[in-house]
Structure 1
Amino acid sequence: MSRFQQCAGWEEEEEGVGRGGTDGQFDMSILGKSMSRSIVRQSKFRHVFGQGVKAEQGYDDIRVSKVTWDSSFCAVNPKFLAVIVESSGGGAFLALPLSKAGRVDKNYPLVIGHSGPVLDIDWCPHNDNILASGSEDCSAMVWQIPDQSLSRPLSEPIVVLEGHSKRVGIVSWHPTARNILLTAGSDNLIIIWNVGTGEPLVSMDDHPDLIYNVSWNYNGSLFCTTCKDRRLRVCDPRKREVVAERLAPHEGVRPMRAIFTKDGNIFTTGFTRMSQRELGLWDPTNFEEPIAVLELDTSNGVLLPYYDPDANMVYLCGKGDSSIRYFEITEEPPYVHYLNTFSSKEPQRGMGFMPKRGVDVSKCEIARLYKLHDKKCEPITMTVPRKSDLFQDDLYPDTAGPEPALEPEEWLEGRDEDPILVSMRQGYVPPKSRELKVAKKNVLDSRPNTRRSMSTCDANSLPPQVLERLLEELQNLKSTVLSQEKRICDLENKLSQYTNGTA
C-alpha cells in the first residue's frame, strides 16, 4: 500500500492486527510484530461510536424537499433545526426549536418568502436566530427566527439580496466577520454581501461553469470552490482573484466537494475515472501531488463532508447512503485515518451538522448530525466512551463561540482574525433572544415593517396617505395568500385521502 493510495475499507497496519485484507486472513508477520511491541495508533477518537436517538427524540412528519439539488437540505444550531420542505406556490423551509421533538403538526407555520424552491440554507455563526436562504427565484434572503414557535407563516425577510441572474444554490456565512454572507448562483457568479446594509461588497466571475460548493478557511481570509469544469480553486475574495487551482483532483466527471481544514489543507471528495468514490487531502501551496488519496466504494451518491476543526475529524455522508463514515486527519502517514462507520437501515436525503458548542459535554458527545429521511429527521450522536463523569479537557478544547472577531469594514480592509473561542467546561447555553451589537445602524438590529431590498425606495420619502394605502394593500395580499395556502393544504389532504382509499 503506497503512501498516497489506500482503500478506506482497510484500516492502516497500526490501527490493528488482521485488518489489512478483504479475505479475512491474518498477516502473520504483523501478528508476530504485535507480540513484541504495540502497533496500535494512539488516538482518543479511535473508539468514537455513533448512535441514533430514541424515536420520541426525533422529528416526524416533515415533508422533506424533493428538489434534485446536491445540498444538505438541513441546517442546525444550538437553538433551531431548519429543513427545506415541499411547499405549494413557491419555496419554503421549516424552522423548528430543537426542543420541539416528536411529531410536527402538518399545519406548523413555515418560512415562505421565496417564490421558487429553496435550495440552500445556513445559520449565522454569530447569531443563533439569523438564517440565510438561497432559492431558484434568483435571490437570497436573510431571516430572523423568533425564539418561540412561529404562530403564523413567516413571509417577511430582514433583507433580500438581489444580484444573481439565475438560481442561488449556495449560501455560506463568513466564519469570523459579522454580517458577511457569500452567495453562489447558477450564473457562475460569487457575490459577498454585507447583509447589514444589503450591499454587495465583492463579486467574482472566475468560474466558467456551475459551482458545486464553496468553503471558507478557518479565519475567512480565503475560500475554496469546486466547479463543473473539474477544477479546484482557492480564491482570495478581497483581491478578487484565484490564487491557486488544480485541474481534476479527482479524475471522474461527477460532482466534487472541497473543504478547508484548520491547518490550511484542503479535503476533497469526488470520483475516479472508473466512477469509484474517493477522497483526497491537498496542500494548496503545492497542488502537484496529493498528501493522501483514499478510494472508497462504487456508490454514485455525492459525498458531503462535515468537518470538526477541534477534533480534526471529518464525517462523510453520501446522499442516498445509509451510512456515515468518519476519519481523523493527522500529520502522520497515512494522514487520513479511517475510524469507523455508522450504519442504519434507511438512506439519507440530507444532513445537518451541529456546531461544537451545541453538543452535550456531560455525555462525552463530540458531534451530532441530523439525518433527513423522506418524512422525518433523526439526530445521531457521536460519542467517545469514557467512564468518568468529569469534564474531559482533552475532548473539548476551547471552540468557536458566537461572538464575531471582525466588523465587515475591518475584514474588507484586509484584516484577518481567528474565531473568538469559548470554553465548553460548563456546556453552552444559547441566550434567549440575542441581538446583534453593532456600532452603526444595522438592519439586523430590529425587524422592519416591510421587506427591505437593494431596489426598494426610502419609505420616508413617500406621502403618508400613499404609504398607508400601500401598507393596507400589503396586509390584504398577505391575508389572501394565507387563506389560499390553507385551502391548498385542505385540498391536498383530501386528495391524499382519496388516493389512499380512506375517503
Structure 2
Amino acid sequence: MAWRFKASKYKNAAPIVPKPEVCIRDICVGSYQTYGNNIAASAAFIAFNWEHAGSSLAVLPIDDCGRKSKTMPLLHAHSDTVTYLDFSPFHDGLLATGSQDCLVKVWHIPEKGLESSISNPECSFSTKQRRVETVGFHPTADCLLWSTAMGCVSLWDLTSQQESFSNNEHPEVIQSLSWKGDGKLCATSCKDKMVRILDPRAESPISLVAESHQSIKDSRVVWLGDQNRVLTTGFDAARLRQVIIRDLRNFAVTEKTLELDCSTGILMPLFDPDTNMLFLAGKGDTTISYLEVTDKDPYLIEGIRHSGEQTKGACLVPKRALRVMEGEVNRIMQLTSNSVIPIMYQVPRKTYRDFHSDLYPETNGFKTELTATQWLNGVNMAVPKISLDPAKRELGEQPIIPRLGPKPFSSTGSSAEFSFDKV
C-alpha cells in the first residue's frame, strides 16, 4: 500500500545531548513514590522536586544552566512530598502543585523567577484528607484546574475558588488523568486495572470503561491530541512493560498492544500532538525511547533511542520555547539525581538558515477566550493557533512570551498591584 512508503518528516529526528556546562548541575533530588513526573516546564520556567523530602520545589528559568547552590531560593510548597506539578498553558508563571498533605495549591512565579523563597500560594484547596495524586490545568479553559485524590476526580474554578465538579466512582486510586486536546473529555487509568473516559459535564460522567494493563503496578494514560484515541503504558500479568492504543469507537478492543521489556521502571509517556512524536521515559531507566504514532498499522514506529543518565523524571518543553531555527522539533527536560539535562530532538537538514515550515505546523497559542465558568456551562472553544515562524511572531525574532494580564483570581479591571508580572 502506498502509505507504507510515505516518509515521515520526523523519522530521523535525533537526540542531541548538550555539554555538561549547558545542564543544570549539583542539584538535590530524592526518590519519590508518586504518580508524577517530578518535573514540569512552561515556556519561561522549569520546576522540579528538591531534596529528599520533596516538599519544596526549585523553580528556574527555562534556559538556565550551571551549578546550583544548596542555599538558592526555593518554593516551599507543602508540608509533605509534592506528588504532582503542572504549569498553566496560558500563564507561564502559574504553577499548580498537589501533595501528600492532601492540599492542592496554585502559585505565581514572578517575572524574574525566585529572588527569595516563597511559601504563600495564590490559593489552596483541600481534598478532604485524601492524598493528592495528580493535578493540572484544563487545556482550553482558562483558570480551570483539575486534580485527583484516591478515587475522586475534582475540578476547581480558580476565579471563584470553588470546587465545581467531583466524581467518586473510581473504586481504587486514580493513577493518571489526561484531557482530549479539545477539552471536552478526559481519560483516567486506575489501580483497578481499568481505563475510563469521562465527560464531567454529562449527567453520567463515566461514559466508557475497558480492561487495561493486568498488573496493579503504575499505569499512565495520555490522550493523543484531538484524536479519538488514547494511549496507556503499564505492565501485563507477567510484568512486561506495555503500550496500548485504544480507539473510542471500539473502546473494549485494543487497537495496538506493544510488548516492551521486563524492566521495573514506570513508563512516563510524553506525547506531542503536533508531530505525533511519543517519548517513553522510564523511572530508573538510562534510555528514553522515541516512537512515532500513526493512524494505520503498525501504529507505533520506533525512532532513534537516547541513552544516558538514569531518569528520575521527565517532561516536554512547550513548542513556543523551541529553537526552531536549529531544527529542534521537541525538547525533553530529563531530571536525574543531580542534574537537569535538556535533550534536544533535531531533524537533520542541510541548512538551518531558513525556517522549515514543514516541520512546524501551527500550534496552540497562549491565549484563550474560554473561561472556566463558560466551559462548566457547556461552551466549547478551540485555543487559537499560532505560527512558530520567527518572521510571523508578534515580537519578530524574539521568543514568543505571553503577557499574563490580570491575575485570574481578581475581577477584570483590578489595579496593577493585583496583576501578574509579565513573564
TM-score (norm 2): 0.91
Q: Which residue of 2 aligns with 1:238?
A: 201
| Structure of higher CA gyration radius | 1
Shift of 1:394: 1.2
SS in 1 for 2:357: coil
**Residue 418 of structure 1 corresponds to which residue in structure 2?**
382
For residue 159 of structure 1, report the CA deviation from its aligned partner.
0.6
Equivalent position to 1:148, from 106, 109, 112: 112
SS in 1 for 2:373: helix
Look up the match of 1:254.
217
Q: Distance in 1 between matches of 2:52 and 2:116?
A: 15
Contact 1:190 / 1:205 at 8 angstroms: preserved in 2? yes
The 10-residue stretch of structure 1 (133-142 or 37-46) with the greater mean CA deviation from structure 2: 37-46
For 2:41, the equivalent position in structure 1 comes to 76
Aligned to 1:431: 401
Distance, in Å, in 1 between the alignment partners of 2:385 and 2:123 is 29
Q: Is the 8 A contact 2:43 2:401 kept in 1?
A: no
- Partner of residue 316, structure 2: 353
Q: Structure 1 residues 445, 104: closer, same or farther in 2, change over 3 A? A: farther
Q: Secondary structure at the match of 2:325?
A: helix
Structure 1 CA distance, aligned partners of 2:94 and 2:285?
30
**Partner residue of 1:313 out of 277, 280, 295:** 277
- Structure 1, unaligned stretches of length 5 or more? 1-13, 15-36, 449-503
- Which one-letter code corresponds to 1:322 in the other structure? T
1:307–1:39 distance in 2 versus 1, CA, 3 Å: closer
In the superposition, relative to structure 1, how do residues 217 and 54 fare at CA in structure 2: closer, same or farther (>3 Å)?
Answer: same
1:285 to partner: Cα distance:
2.4
Residue 443 of structure 1 and its aligned partner are, at CA, apart by 12
Q: 1:400 maps to what in 2?
A: 364
Distance 1:198 1:343, change over 3 A: same
Match of 2:124 in 1: 160
CA drift of 1:405 comes to: 4.0
The alignment status of 1:273 with 2:273, answered yes or no, reads no
Shift of 1:447: 7.3
1:441 is aligned to 2:372? no
Provide the secondary structure at the position in 1 that maps to 2:250.
coil
Distance 1:283 1:433, change over 3 A: closer
* CA RMSD in angstroms, aligned pairs only: 2.4
In 1, Cα distance between the equivalents of 2:368 and 2:154? 20
> Which of the two has greater strand per residue?
2
Aligned to 1:375: 338
What CA distance in whole angstroms lies between the structure 2 residues aligned with 1:113 and 1:392? 41
Runs (4 or more) in structure 1 with deviation over 3 Å come to: 37-41, 430-433, 436-440, 442-448
Paired letter, 1:120 = Y
C-alpha separation in 1, matches of 2:188 and 2:256: 19
Q: Which runs of 5+ in 2 are unaligned?
A: 419-423
Amino acid corresponding to residue 130 of structure 2 in structure 1: K
Name the SS for the 2:156 alignment partner: strand
- Tell me the alpha carbon deviations over residues 286-329 of structure 1, each in whole angstroms, 9 at most, x when there is no partner: 12321111111111111110110101121111111111111111
- AA partner of residue 15 (structure 2): G
1:341 shift after superposition: 1.0
1:55 aligns with 2:20: yes
Query: In structure 2, what is the equivalent of residue 196 of structure 1?
Result: 159
**Cα-to-partner distance string for 1:153-199 (whole Å, 9 max, x where unaligned):** 1011111112332111201110010000101113x211100112211
Q: Counterpart in 1 of 2:82? A: 118
Contact kept, 8 Å, 1:196 with 1:444, in 2: the verdict is no
Distance 1:172 1:153, change over 3 A: same
Aligned partner letter, 1:51: I
Report the identity percentage.
31
Match of 2:289 in 1: 325
Counterpart residue type for residue 8 of structure 2: S
Alignment partner, residue 85 of structure 1 = 50
User: What is the correspondence of 1:134-145 to structure 2 with a 5 Å cutoff?
Assistant: 134-145=98-109
- 1:439 Cα shift? 11
Structure 1 residues 325 and 405, CA, compared in 2 at 3 Å: closer, same or farther?
farther
Q: Structure 1 residues 270, 163: CA separation in 2 closer, same or farther (over 3 Å shift)?
A: closer
SS class of match (1:370): strand
Q: 8 Å contact 1:112–1:153 — kept in the other structure?
A: yes
Write the distance in 2 (CA, Å) between the matches of 1:432 and 1:216. 23
Q: Could you say what secondary structure the match of 2:249 adopts?
A: coil
SS of residue in 1 equivalent to 2:355: coil
Structure 2 counterpart of 1:474: none
Correspondence for 1:210: 173
1:218–1:264 Cα contact (<8 Å) kept: no
Question: What's the offset of the Cα at 1:149?
Answer: 3.5
For the residues of structure 1 that align with 2:304 and 2:361, how far apart are their CA atoms?
A: 23
CA, structure 1 residues 38+179, in 2 after alignment: closer, same or farther (shift >3 Å)?
closer
Structure-1 separation of matches of 2:410 and 2:3: 60
Q: What's the CA shift for 1:431?
A: 3.3
Contact kept in structure 2, 1:251 and 1:273, CA below 8 Å: yes
Post-superposition shift, 1:385? 0.4
Structure in which a larger fraction of residues adopt helix: 1
Q: Cα offset for 1:391?
A: 0.9
Alignment-mate amino acid for residue 220 of structure 1: G
Look up the match of 2:421: none
Please give the alpha-carbon distance, in whole angstroms, between the structure 2 residues aligned to 1:38 and 1:199. Answer: 50
CA gap of 1:444–1:108, structure 2 versus 1, over 3 A, is farther
Provide the rounded CA distance (Å) in 1 between the counterparts of 2:26 and 2:413.
35
Deviation at 1:251, TM superposition (A): 2.5
Q: How many residues are treated as equivalent by the alignment?
A: 410
Distance 1:39 1:250 in 2: 29
What is the rounded CA distance, in whole Å, between the counterparts of 1:185 and 1:377 in structure 2?
A: 28
Q: Is the partner of 1:362 in helix, strand or coil?
A: helix
What amino acid is aligned across from residue 194 of structure 1 in structure 2? D
Instruction: Please give the secondary structure, in 1, of the residue aligned with 2:303.
Output: strand
Compute the displacement of 1:44 (Å): 0.9
TM-score by length of 1: 0.77
Q: Please name the residue that 1:65 is paired with.
A: 30
Shift of 1:38: 12
Match in the other structure for 2:264: 300
